Structure 1
Amino acid sequence: MKRIGLIDIGSNTVRLVLFEYTSETGLKELQNIKTPARLARFLDKDNVMAEEGINNLLSILSSFQQISSKYGVEEIHPVATAAIRQSVNVEDILKRAKSEIGMEIKVITGKEEAYYGYHAVVHTISNMDAVTIDIGGGSTELTFFENKELIHSVSLPFGVVTLNTMFFQGKEHNDEEALEKTEKYVKEQLKSVKWLSKRKVPIVAIGGSARNIARIHQSSINYPIAGVHGYSMDRNDLQDVYDLLEGTKADDLDDIDGLSKDRSDIILPSSVVFKSLYDIVKAEEFKFSRKGLREGLAMSIISEGHPAAFNKYHIFRDSLIELSNDFHIQMEEGEKRQQIAERVSHELEKFDFISLDKHEKYLMKNAAHIFSLGSFIDRDASSQHTYYLISNSNINGIVHQDRVRLALLASFKNKTLLHFFAEETGWFGTDDLDSLQSLGSILKFANALNVSHTNIVQDLYLEKTGDGMLLTVKYKGDPIAEEYQTVRQKKHIEKIMDKDLEIRFVEA
């Protein structure tokens, strides 16, 4: 186990994130605390950080140091971005941090900031190709990656705080002239990045402003599940959020659900940036990553001692394994359930009772691994806990609709409960639900075939017997629990086949 603390000294906020890494459960966030510092506003016209800004920063760092010590953190990594990077008196700031509170602040370059954001995205988002944007208070980082390899990166000299200072000083947050000037300036900056135009790939947005945009949109449409990581919007959605912000008086911004109070005066400039980028890239979608600079840096630090800790090509698989370990599902148990589910589905396909595409098999296999994980909390309410835990968990490498499909499969108990859970999102039609019911039925039956967790089933196969079907199960060990449970659950398979099913256990 390794615990580290990262302090992200941004131009707008300073944030402490405490991470714990184990090989079983991966990288976990233990604590996340932020405070609005607005350091960029303490830079004068000559880029000298004012004494008030330095004292404010040192006070925050001292508090974060005390919090970290209470969590048993082994090492703290304070990193500074644009506001400190641009300060003429940066060396004085670093010396005072070292002498007064014993912290060595690392000032990272714009290129490094862009890299760490990219590094986090490719290890937590499934897209193979994308443009990333991380808009901070004083700078904006852009990257383009292809096949998960970094191709281009750049740091632009503006952020939400600097845009606000440049165009909105003494004006309303939605001043029409200021918005027009902001858009013109932003487009000029983006067009200067020659590798950006017409990439026609998804955009993945990182950072607090991006999360706020996503949360505002989710609130406006009553989005039924939690989390912005992997959440996707299109150009019209971005315009809807912009129109809402632009049409809201300053005094009423606090009433917009999803908007953080400390970002209310700087959220519109970020919305302008996102819309402009979407148009220049000719993007396919606008997706959000909750993982950015801090997670990318943490992964890099952890990887120094654990080179195999993170695999950008097996994101979903690794995320599921970590989820299984969180809820004490044994690897052998999950793998056996996967094996049995695959055999049952194959036998049903042989007789044309079902026809599964590759994606359905993929979801079924992974749902088998975490089937009924909610029993860790309460066995009697396992289905309910399983559905809500999975549908609202941050599972890397999977889109939100498939996350809910996974939750519906892993929680399957019967048709009634499946439809009850599915109504919460309203995302699935009759054909989808019929497919999910068949897959869930296979999983419930597969679970019954290893209910004792003793891996007694060695093989199984179906045969026709008159008007019905015979399932022969070859076993090693004592099948008493499996014999009882499969008889109870065979009705789910009979519904798929529309035939009676006889089950025969034969010693292998």
Structure 2
Amino acid sequence: MNNNIIGNDLIFIELGSYATKILDWRGEENLCPPIVNPYNLISIEGNFQLKVFNKSVIYRLKKRLKELTRPTTKIIAFATGIYRNSTNANTSLKILCAIPNLELFVLTPKEEVLLSCNSILKSNNKLTNKIVYIDIGGGSTEIAYLLNGDLIRFVSIDLGLLLMTVHFFHHSSNIHSGLTKINDKFEKVIEPVKGFLEDIGLMIYENECTVLVTGMVVKKIDKKYLNDNTIEFNAYSEYLDFLQLILTKYDDIQDLNNSFKKSENCKMKLSMYLGGAFLHLLLIHINAQKFKINFNGLSNGFRQQYLKKINKS
């Protein structure tokens, strides 16, 4: 048991798209390993739906919290976009709120962007003061333009990696049609925000902006494509071609679906490709020639803001 965290009577839970993490007050993940996959794809009469936080995850979370806390320990949980867009979000959040001493925050898209960016700016003085920020999460995609840490322009799209996966399996009979239809879906959700993306592209052209991308879509990119956590547009295209070759080795959509259910590696590859294809399209629309990857931000940003708040009080 970690005496430091018990002494501070405060722990944080990050309810993300791919893992539930229990963090100590410093934001370190040394309390216990992440609880992976707080979601599952279920088939109801052939229709795929997305559910988060199934019973086994809830059981494991409660068990670990019981081991790590005492009656006076305050538990601060924060949830991201997938908890706004899943089919069983309300049920999951009610169960979470029933955990003793737990206070839950379901972050809005704007809050996610501001918390991430402010944390990044504080920890990285090499970034420019003009940032185009793209976050492709599990349940939504956020795109923003920030100047000196202030949010100037912002849009949120109700499409993330896991929702892309649901759409991919639900509307496809084979891999080729799946890839075609998911691209059609991307074009459809981008259409209402094309004007916004054109404005962002103009800002990138006229100003020295850093394009910063975060989320699961970029966290597992092979380092051979990177240069100081930066990737060129052409290198990213090459990386996506590599992922597509892996996916097209499957005979049909059912083979891929079976592998998806059994293999964490397959889940990651498919999500990385679908999200990557969406990111690739966004980069084309804003005419970005390269982007920098953010490997951390939201959890640190939320924790810092909460600690600042309680210190003031």
Instruction: Tell me the TM-score range normalised by the shorter chain.
Output: 0.7 to 0.9
2:299 match: 294
Q: Deviations over 1:467-503 (max 9, x none)?
A: xxxxxxxxxxxxxxxxxxxxxxxxxxxxxxxxxxxxx
Partners in 2 of 1:251 and 1:103 — Cα distance?
A: 46
Partners in 1 of 2:30 and 2:188 — Cα distance?
A: 40
RMSD: 3.9
1:359 match: none
Partners in 2 of 1:150 and 1:77 — Cα distance?
A: 26
Higher-strand-fraction structure: 2
What amino acid sits opposite 2:304 in the alignment? M
Partners in 2 of 1:284 and 1:29 — Cα distance?
A: 34
What amino acid sits opposite 1:203 in the alignment? V
Matches within 5 A, 1:230-379: 231-249=229-247, 260-305=265-310
Partners in 1 of 2:241 and 2:177 — Cα distance?
A: 10
1:58 match: 58
Partners in 1 of 2:132 and 2:44 — Cα distance?
A: 33
Say whether 1:212 aligns with 2:210: no
Pairwise CA distance, 1:73: 10
Q: Deviations over 1:339-381 (max 9, x none)?
A: xxxxxxxxxxxxxxxxxxxxxxxxxxxxxxxxxxxxxxxxxxx
Pairwise CA distance, 1:183: 4.2
Pairwise CA distance, 1:231: 0.4
Pairwise CA distance, 1:57: 4.5
Partners in 1 of 2:225 and 2:246 — Cα distance?
A: 14
Q: Deviations over 1:2-33 (max 9, x none)?
A: 575332223x3232142444xxxxx6553562
Q: Deviations over 1:191-212 (max 9, x none)?
A: 2535533321221111222112
Identity of aligned residues (%): 19
What amino acid sits opposite 2:165 in the alignment? N
Cα distance change on mapping 1:117 and 1:154 into 2, 3 Å: farther
Pairwise CA distance, 1:65: 1.7
What amino acid sits opposite 1:293 in the alignment? L
Maintained 8 Å contact 2:84/2:139: no
Cα distance change on mapping 1:190 and 1:203 into 2, 3 Å: farther
Consecutive unaligned residues of structure 2, counting only runs of 5 or more, are 251-255
Pairwise CA distance, 1:240: 1.0
Pairwise CA distance, 1:157: 0.3
Partners in 2 of 1:49 and 1:269 — Cα distance?
A: 16
Partners in 2 of 1:5 and 1:111 — Cα distance?
A: 24
Maintained 8 Å contact 2:42/2:50: yes
Consecutive unaligned residues of structure 1, counting only runs of 5 or more, are 22-26, 224-229, 308-508
Cα distance change on mapping 1:134 and 1:67 into 2, 3 Å: farther
Partners in 2 of 1:274 and 1:59 — Cα distance?
A: 35
Number of residue pairs matched by the alignment: 284
Rg (Cα) greater in structure = 1
Partners in 1 of 2:104 and 2:270 — Cα distance?
A: 29
Matches within 5 A, 1:455-470: none
Say whether 1:188 aligns with 2:186: no
Say whether 1:6 aligns with 2:38: no
Q: Deviations over 1:130-186 (max 9, x none)?
A: 111121111112221112332223321000111122234354389542353244235
1:498 match: none
What amino acid sits opposite 2:214 in the alignment? I
1:350 match: none
The higher-RCO structure (CA 8 Å, 6+ apart) is 2
